[in-house]
Every structure is written in C-alpha cells, then in structure tokens.
Amino acid sequence: MRSEDDTHDANDLDYIDDDFVDNESDDEDGYYDFLDNDESDDRQQQNYIILSEADIQHHQEEDINRVSTILSLPRAAACSLLRHYNWIVSRVTDEWFADEENTRRVVGLLEKKPIEMPNSPELTCGICFEDYPRDRMNSTACGHPFCSVCWRAYIGTSIRDGPGWALSLRCPDPSCGVAVGQDMVNLLATDEDKEKYSRYLLRSYVEDNKKIKWCPGRGCDYAVEFVLGSGSYDVCCNCSYGFCWNCTEEAHRPVDCSTVAKWMLKNSSESANMNWISANSKPCPKCERPIEKDHGCMHMTCTPPCKFEFCWLCLGAWSDHGESTGGFYACNRYEAAKQEGTYDESENRREMAKKSLERYTHYYERWATNESSRQKALVDLHSMQTEKLEKLSDIQSLPALQLKFTTEAWLQIVECRRVLKWTYAYGFYLPEHERAKRQFFEYLQGEAESGLELLHQCAEKELQVYLDEESPSKHFDDFLTKLANLTSVTRNYFENLVRALETGLKDVEAIDQQATCSRASSSKTMDGKGRGSGPSDSMDDTNHWLCDLCTYANLKSSNICQMCQQRRS
Amino acid sequence: MTSTSSPSRKALSKIACNRLQKELVEWQVSPPAGFKHKVTDNLQRWVVEVVGAPGTLYASETYQLQVDFPEHYPMEAPQVIFLHPAPLHPHIYSNGHICLDILYDSWSPAMTVSSVCISILSMLSSSTVKQRPADNDRYVKNCRNGRSPKETRWWFHDDKV
Ligand SMILES: [Zn+2]
Ligand SMILES: [Zn+2]
Ligand SMILES: [Zn+2]
Ligand SMILES: [Zn+2]
Ligand SMILES: [Zn+2]
Ligand SMILES: [Zn+2]
Ligand SMILES: [Zn+2]
Ligand SMILES: [Zn+2]
C-alpha cells in the first residue's frame, strides 16, 4: 500500500518522480496519487485468460498433439479421446495407462492395426446394398465397407443431428462401434459439413471444458478460461462485457451468485407489479407536470418556471440530499411506514402483504434505476470516446491524451452504477434484525450514492459547459483536476465498499453487540469540516472517527481511512 | 382406435426406393423366422405379421407391426408400431408404441426391417411378465393428438427384460 511517509525517507529516489511530484504534492493527496497509482497497485492479479478463436484453436491443437505424442496415436484418435474426457489431457493419459483396453472400447478405437476391407474386386455397401469396385469403397479402422455416397449421407445426417452425434460418430455397422473421426469426415463429407464439423470441434473444446466458457456478451466470439480456485468470479471480456464466470450473469460483485439467482427469480415473479417503474417519466412532485429522465444522475430539475430540484428516486427535494443537510444521503434507506391504530387479522395480513411489496419495490426501483443509469453512462462513454473527446480537445486546445480523465471518469461511473445496483439486492436480503449492520450498510450505501452522484453530475452536466464554449476556458484545468480527484476518490470508495460487503460487513458484528449501549456522540467528529459529519444519530460514534476526505466512519483502532487511505487528522 | 393414418409424409427418395426394393427381394428369398410380410403395392408402408415364438409367453399369438419409411430411409429410422391390439409387454404401450432404442437414438442405416423385426421378437421372447409399462396411461394420453413415437424423447427401460 502506498504511504505518504515513504517519499520523505526516500529522498534520493525523488528524481524518479520528478515529472509528477513537486514538494507541495505531499499535502494534496488525490490527484498525484491518481497519476502514479494508475492500474498497477490496486488491481488484483487477473485470474482469467481471454481466448480468441485463434487462441482456442491453438490450445486445442496443442492438447491434441500432446496426447497424440504421449500415446503414439493418430491425430483423429487423440481428438476422440480428448473429446470423450472433456479435453483434460491428464484424464486421458490416466485412463489410458490405467486400462488401455477399456479406454479403447469406450471411445471406439481398435486395438492394434487397422483391418483392411475384404479383399475382392467388388464389395457390397452395407447401407445401400449396391455393389461397387473395391477402390470406390471406404471404411474406418474396422474394415466395414460403405460407398462414398452413403458415407457422405451418414456423416451429413449426424452433423444435422448436432455436435453430440457428429463428434461421437461410430461405424454404421451395428455390431461395430469403431469411432469415425475427423480424418474420415475430411475425406468423405461435403465441404459444408467439414466446416461444420470443425466448428463443432472448436465449440466442444469450450463447451465440454470445465475451465472455459464463452463470453455471453451479445455477438462476442471470445471465450474466457478461468483459473479455478482463485478469488472473485467477475471477469471482463475484451468486448468490454463484464460477467460472472461462475453463473454467467452480468458481473455482480459484491453480491454472490445465489443471491443474484434469488433476486432475478424474485424480479421475474414480481414483474407484473413492477411494470410502472420502467417508465422514464414521473410527475414533478411540486407542479405535477411529467418530467422525462434523459440523463444518468438522479438530480432532477423541473422545467421553468417551476425549476424545482428533486431526487428521481424518492421524489424528495434535492436540498434534503446534499451537503446542506450534513451530507447524509438517506434516500437509499428503506423505512417501513409506521403502523397506526389497530387492525383485525385479515386487515393485518393485507397490510403485511402491502408492506412486503412496498419494501421490495423500494429496492427494485433503485436496482433498476441504477441499471438504466448505467446503460445511459455506457452510451455517454461511447459518445465521449467517439466524438466529444475530439470536440473538447479542439475547443480547449488540449491534446486528447490529456483528456483521458474524462473517459476514465465515465468508465468509473459505469462500474460504480453496476456495483450500486447490486448493493440494492444486497440490502434487500440483509436481515431486518441485524440492525446495526443494516444501519452501517445503509450509511455506506448512502455515501456511495452521494459520492457517485457528485462524479456523475460532474462528468455529465459540468463537462457539458466546457463543450458548449467557443474558446478555451481558464477554469478547464481546475475542472479536470476536480474530475480526476472525484474519480479517484470514488474508485477507492467503491473498491472498499465491495470488499466490505463481500466479507459480510464483519467489522460491524462487534458493533451489533454494543449497539444498544451508550449513544454518546462525539462532538469532535460532529462538527468536522466539509461534508464530513455524523453518519446517523443511531451510530455509536465513540468507536469511530470520520475521514476528512471521504467521510467514511472508521473504527478507532485504525489510523488510516479504510475507504480512501487518508490519514486520520 | 389405433391411428392408421400416419402423419403426412414425403415420398421416398430414390435412394430409399432402391434400398427398400432390395430389402423386399431379400425378404422374399429369406424372410426372418416368425414373420410374414403382407405384400401390398405400397412400398412406403409395410404391414408385417408376427407370431410369438414357441415356449414364450406369447407363443402362437399373432400381432401386426406397421412399418412406415421416411423420405431419407435408411439414414433416418423407420417408424415401427404395433397395430391394435398390441401385445401386453412392459416395453410396449397400449397405443402400439414400442420402447426399443434401435428404433430411435440407436438406429443405424446398416440395419434393416428384417433386423428390426428380429430385435422386436427377441424383446417379446425374453419377457417374463405380461403387463403394460408403468407409465402407460400418462404416455398414451400425451400421444392422443397423433404424435409419432419418433417425437418422443425416450428414456429406455433397462435392457434386462
Ligand atoms: Zn452405399
Ligand atoms: Zn465397423
Ligand atoms: Zn465478450
Ligand atoms: Zn455469479
Ligand atoms: Zn415542477
Ligand atoms: Zn432521494
Ligand atoms: Zn477516507
Ligand atoms: Zn423400454
């Protein structure tokens, strides 16, 4: 982990950083950190390999050659063996050396030398029963003769029946069972069928292989090989589609696969109830005119003369969401409406059903809105890369390379919207009775929402100002610095958030036990500067200090912010 | 009750015609023991009489098999069913459908009507009990709309019977 102190102890090495670091940079964390942090430090070691079609072919050929060499078998035989044992080389050799006779029988490989066809000038085809000269007949290693017309039809039929049939094809003689391999196909089938067969073979190398899966991205031809038993299942394909290698749903850290499956099932069973949510239009909470949501962030402004600013998610005034209310962004939190009066049994049950739907709706709406926000951000990222970047570079007369922060910001927004989306499935399944955990979770999630909102707004609306200008703006540099800073802080925050949620918010378990005790609030943190302030009145603040930079509530035991690595002041 | 109207079927290909003609000649020269082909001028549908083998549960009982050939016979399997009344057998449904792998997944174009008949007779002969398959009622009900046994995804009963 990078530490500010190191730069003092290593003065003699300063020249290495000359381009980036001046003396003042020690106080200014984010920006320069961001410059030399790029990629290297934080990213986990990649535990998967992306394979193009050529790569797959290459790997497959290597495996076939290995088996063919080790067992001294022809290529087609090695191929049949590998396919039968799911392309695991060690499995093939193990089976072979344990019981060669049985392995040969199972796969359909004859012992010893191939048998010649009967030695007479004319032979009868075993399918059409016509007689042909011997040199117009063919057989596999078993010597059962069939004419080329029948072979072609036989192979063609198996290919039409699908890869399962074609790749395990045997001699047509019912008593025989000798394998018909790719050598026979290439010798006897039509060109179209040869092509199909080799596609089947390639597909089999991925589909029958426990370590490789096709990327489920639309129109994508890459496959991903996963190093089993290592870390997270989230992979990002070269086509830019991110997915979970384990369940092949879209990438879903920090939520695990079974929660995703449960959540998706819930969504499909409730879809009739949720139809209204997909609409991109809601009435303004003040003037009631319909407002279209045409951008990604949640901060809405009604058209003049109303100009009411509100939150798309909860329809509350935006002024209740920002720094002015102490930075606590509470619209992510679900609070069941207070139960009033008394109900009889059936009324009570109805009320419960209504509550449970309300609760689900709360999470679903936020899950779905973050997804559509992410989709919007993907579109914006694309337009940034294809047109806006160039335009911005012209207007501000800066080389496009210096504008890379803008695309990085958008990439970060896309990723954060994805994480945020899944935190709502996480929240939905977080048990109600683990109250301190829930509160802490909602606090972290709220901070994530508001932090991302700042970044999204900055990349979306504030950037637009500079795109609308005619000539270079002297504020543009400052803007870039702000954007880069926000990106960096948001990235750190989200990475830590993911880690915290993946470990099940372990830190909080301790608090959960004390939550009912003292509620003394620390004045030191409550009047902290900037956005920093108390997480909520129910948090036990004596155990925490709030980070100046990101407002994360850290445990007293650590002096470095768990979210952004800022030192405790 | 038995559906004798087979699903509308394309005419036999030339290859199929040639091959069936040869099978017919071969059948007339040496018919499989226990079978009699009721010759008609319809090459695409054969009706074959089976007589239960002596010393088996079906001894001297007579049944009729209906064999329909697809356009691309013998690359595709023929459809073989018992006409009403079908023998009481743990692998034969009351609608005449037969649960026998070579009629479906394990068909090979090197097989013939004659070899299929022999397999069916041996299936009858090895039976130790005269009864319908356990799932008879459900299966037959599902076939009411005239579904061919070739459209069934067969789970073959084990071969012991
Ligand atoms: Zn032939
Ligand atoms: Zn053979
Ligand atoms: Zn892909
Ligand atoms: Zn998954
Ligand atoms: Zn309004
Ligand atoms: Zn809100
Ligand atoms: Zn911090
Ligand atoms: Zn059966």
- Give the model confidence (pLDDT) of A329-348 as tens digits: 567 777 654 444 555 666 66
Are A128 and B111 within 8 A, CB to CB? Answer: no
Residue A125 has pLDDT above 90, yes or no: yes
Which of A129, A146, A150 shows the shortest C-beta gap to B22?
A129
The answer to whether residue B157 sits within a structural domain is no
Are A172 and B109 within 8 A, CB to CB? Answer: yes
Residue B160 has pLDDT above 50, yes or no: no
Pairing status of strand A212-214 against strand A146-147: unpaired
The answer to whether residue B82 sits within a structural domain is yes
Among candidate residues A407, A423, A413, the one with its CA nearest the CA of residue A377: A413
Q: Which two tokens stand for residue A6?
A: 């190191």
A143 touches chain B (CB under 8 A): no
Contacts of A130 in chain B (CB under 8 A): 18
| pLDDT value at residue A540 | 47
Give A440's pLDDT tier (boundaries 50, 70, 90). Answer: confident
| pLDDT value at residue A41 | 38
Contacts of B108 in chain A (CB under 8 A): 172-174
> Under a CB-based contact definition with an 8 Å cutoff, are residues A493 and A563 in contact?
yes
Q: Which of B17, B18, B19, B26 to mutate to test the interface with A (most CBs of A within 10 A)?
A: B19
Q: Which two tokens stand for residue A95?
A: 């089976």
| pLDDT value at residue A344 | 61
Are A174 and B110 within 8 A, CB to CB? Answer: yes
State the pTM of this model: 0.68
* Chain segment A462-510, per-residue pLDDT in tens: 999 898 888 888 889 899 999 999 999 999 999 999 989 988 887 665 5
Pairing status of strand A122-124 against strand A131-133: antiparallel
| pLDDT value at residue A22 | 38
CA of A309 to the centre of ligand 5 (A): 8
What percent of chain A has pLDDT above 70? 77
* Boundaries of domain holding B70: 14-143
Cα-Cα-Cα-Cα dihedral sign, residues A204, A205, A210, A215: negative
B74 touches chain A (CB under 8 A): yes
Among candidate residues A225, A249, A228, the one with its CA nearest the CA of residue A238: A225
Q: Average model confidence (pLDDT) for chain A?
A: 80
B115 touches chain A (CB under 8 A): yes
Q: Minimum mean pLDDT among A15-24, A46-55, A382-391: which range?
A: A15-24
The answer to whether residue B84 sits within a structural domain is yes
| pLDDT value at residue A530 | 33
Q: Which two tokens stand for residue B95?
A: 């609608």
Residue B46 φ/ψ, nearest 5 degrees: -105, 145
| pLDDT value at residue A417 | 94
Residue of B nearest to A157 (CA): B75
Higher pLDDT, A28 or A313: A313
A150 touches chain B (CB under 8 A): yes
To the nearest whole angstrom, how far is the Cα of B76 from the nearest Cα of chain A?
Answer: 8
Count of domains for chain B: 1
The answer to whether residue B45 sits within a structural domain is yes
What percent of chain B has pLDDT above 70? 89
Contacts of B115 in chain A (CB under 8 A): 174
Residue A12 has pLDDT above 50, yes or no: no
Query: What is the SS3 assignment for A100?
Result: helix
Residue A531 has pLDDT above 60, yes or no: no
A175 touches chain B (CB under 8 A): no
Give A271's pLDDT tier (boundaries 50, 70, 90). Answer: confident
Q: How far apart are CA A4 and CA A560, in angstroms?
A: 11
Contacts of B111 in chain A (CB under 8 A): 174
> Under a CB-based contact definition with an 8 Å cutoff, are residues A152 and A188 in contact?
yes
Higher pLDDT, A332 or A237: A237
* Chain segment B18-76, per-residue pLDDT in tens: 999 999 999 999 999 999 988 778 899 999 999 999 999 999 899 999 999 999 999 99
Contacts of A129 in chain B (CB under 8 A): 19, 22-23
Q: Directed axis angle between helix A53-70 and helix A191-207, to 10°?
A: 90
Among candidate residues A309, A460, A478, A298, the one with its CA nearest the CA of residue A379: A460
B21 touches chain A (CB under 8 A): no
Q: Which residues contact A151 (CB under 8 A, 6 or more apart)?
A: A138, A184, A188, A189
| pLDDT value at residue A517 | 37
Q: Which residues contact A101 (CB under 8 A, 6 or more apart)?
A: A111
Among candidate residues A285, A320, A278, the one with its CA nearest the CA of residue A301: A285
Query: What is the SS3 assignment for B106?
Result: coil
Residue A32 has pLDDT above 50, yes or no: no
Are A154 and B115 within 8 A, CB to CB? Answer: no
Residue B114 has pLDDT above 50, yes or no: yes
Query: What is the SS3 assignment for A212?
Result: strand
Higher pLDDT, A69 or A14: A69
The answer to whether residue B154 sits within a structural domain is no
The answer to whether residue B44 sits within a structural domain is yes
Residue A281 Cα distances to A150, A358, A424, A521, angstroms: 64, 20, 22, 42
Residue A289 φ/ψ, nearest 5 degrees: -75, 145
The answer to whether residue B127 sits within a structural domain is yes
The answer to whether residue B149 sits within a structural domain is no
| pLDDT value at residue B125 | 94
Q: Which two tokens stand for residue A468?
A: 């609308």
> Under a CB-based contact definition with an 8 Å cutoff, are residues A145 and A125 in contact?
yes
Residue B77 has pLDDT above 80, yes or no: yes
Among candidate residues A496, A485, A487, A497, the one with its CA nearest the CA of residue A420: A497
Among candidate residues B43, B50, B38, B39, the one with its CA nearest the CA of residue B92: B50
Q: Which two tokens stand for residue A48?
A: 């998967």
Question: Any idea what the CATH number is for the domain that residue B78 is in?
Answer: 3.10.110.10
The one catalytic residue among A79, A147, A171, A297: A297
Residue B5 has pLDDT above 60, yes or no: no
Are A153 and B72 within 8 A, CB to CB? Answer: yes
Pairing status of strand A242-244 against strand A281-283: unpaired
